[in-house]
Amino acid sequence: MQRTRRLTLLLLAIILTLSLAAAPRAAAAGAGDIVVGYYASWAARQGYTPDKLPAEQFTQINYAFAKIENGRLALEDPEGDRKVLGELTALRKQNPELKIVLSVGGWDESTWFSDVASSSAQRETFARSCLDLIRAHDLDGVDLDWEYPVSGGTAGVIHRPQDRENFTLLLRAIRKTLDRQSRKDGRPYVLSIAGAAGNGYLNSIEPRAVAETVDHIFLMAYDFHGPWDSQANFNAPLRPVSGGPSRYQGSVEGGVNAWVSRGVPAEKLVLGMPLYGYIYQGVSRAQDGLYSGFDSARSVAWDKVKGEYLERPGYRQLRHREAEVPYLSGNGCFLSYDDEASIAAKAELARDCGLGGVGFWELSQDREGDLIQSACSAWRGGGFSDVPAGAWYAGAVEAVCEAGLMQGTGAGTFAPGAAVTRGQIAAILYRLAGSPGIYGSSFSDVRTGAYYAKAVAWAARRGVVEGFPDGTFRPDQPVSRQQLAAVLWRYAKLERADSGKRAGLEDYRDAGEVGAYAGEALSWALAEGVLQGTKEGNLLPQGQAARGQTAVLLERFQKLLESA
- 512 burial (CB, 10 Å; 0-12 / 13-18 / 19+) is exposed
Query: What 3-state DSSP class applies to 174?
Result: helix
Report the DSSP pairing between strands 216-220 and 60-69: unpaired
Question: Using alpha carbons only, how large is the chain's radius of gyration in Å?
Answer: 27
In Å, how far are 230, 276, 288, 336 from 283, measured between CA atoms?
Answer: 11, 20, 9, 13
Contact 405, 555 (CB under 8 A): no
Q: Identify the H or E element spanning 213.
A: helix 207-213
Tell me, what amino acid is at 7? Answer: L
From 402, 466, 428, select the one nearest 557 (Cα to Cα).
428
Report the DSSP pairing between strands 60-69 and 34-40: parallel
Tell me, what amino acid is at 172? Answer: R
The Cα–Cα gap between 14 and 495 comes to: 73
In Å, how far are 149, 166, 417, 525 from 547, measured between CA atoms?
Answer: 50, 54, 6, 18
CA atoms within 13 A on the CB side of 227: 10
- 447 burial (CB, 10 Å; 0-12 / 13-18 / 19+) is exposed
Q: How many CB atoms lie within 10 A of CB 161?
A: 11
Contact 363, 356 (CB under 8 A): no
To 5 degrees, how large is the angle CA 128–CA 132–CA 135?
Answer: 135
The Cα–Cα gap between 84 and 40 comes to: 10
Among 147, 206, 324, 402, which one carries the catalytic annotation? 147
- DSSP-assigned states of every residue in 255-298: HHHHHHHTT--GGGEEEEEESEEEEEES--SGGGGTT---SEEE
Contact 532, 508 (CB under 8 A): no
To 5 degrees, how large is the angle CA 91–CA 96–CA 101?
Answer: 60
For 362, phi and psi rounded to 5 degrees? -120, 160
Strand order in the sheet with 296-301: 296-301, 276-281, 333-336, 325-330, 316-320
From 222, 208, 191, 215, select the one nearest 260 (Cα to Cα).
208
Q: Is 513 a catalytic residue?
A: no
Tell me, what amino acid is at 68? Answer: I
Active-site positions read 147
